[in-house]
Structure 1
Amino acid sequence: MKQGVLPASLGDWANEIRIVGNDGAHDDGVNREDLKAARMFCDSFLRYLITLPKEIELRRQQPA
């Protein structure tokens, strides 16, 4: 993966969540399922961006 480039699937998912956020900002009716999807995206995105790289770094530091 190139530095600063998200996988296409994550980018597509981010776009779907952007639409949910836009609907919420304009009072176009966001339901509980939309909010769950947004939270799942945030959790997944942060895991991919922050948690997994750190876990890999720590695992690589362990003796073989």
Structure 2
Amino acid sequence: MLYILYRFGAVSQEIADRAPEIDIDYLLEDLPKMIDSMRVRCDRLSQHQHQFAYLLPQRQRHQ
């Protein structure tokens, strides 16, 4: 959403003034990559959790 607002000039003057300081162009380019990377890592952790749960003895799973 911020990307759309920023690209079409619909952001507040404060954000526009501080854009170079916070390097908003880099953030807008890199943020989707970071989110995708986190999503992949979360999926992997979930898979590992299921694999480890399967390896636990039956009695430990139901405690």
Identify the structure with the greater helix proportion. 2
Which structure has the greater CA radius of gyration?
A: 2
Q: What TM-score do the two structures reach when normalised by structure 2?
A: 0.46
TM-score (norm 1): 0.46
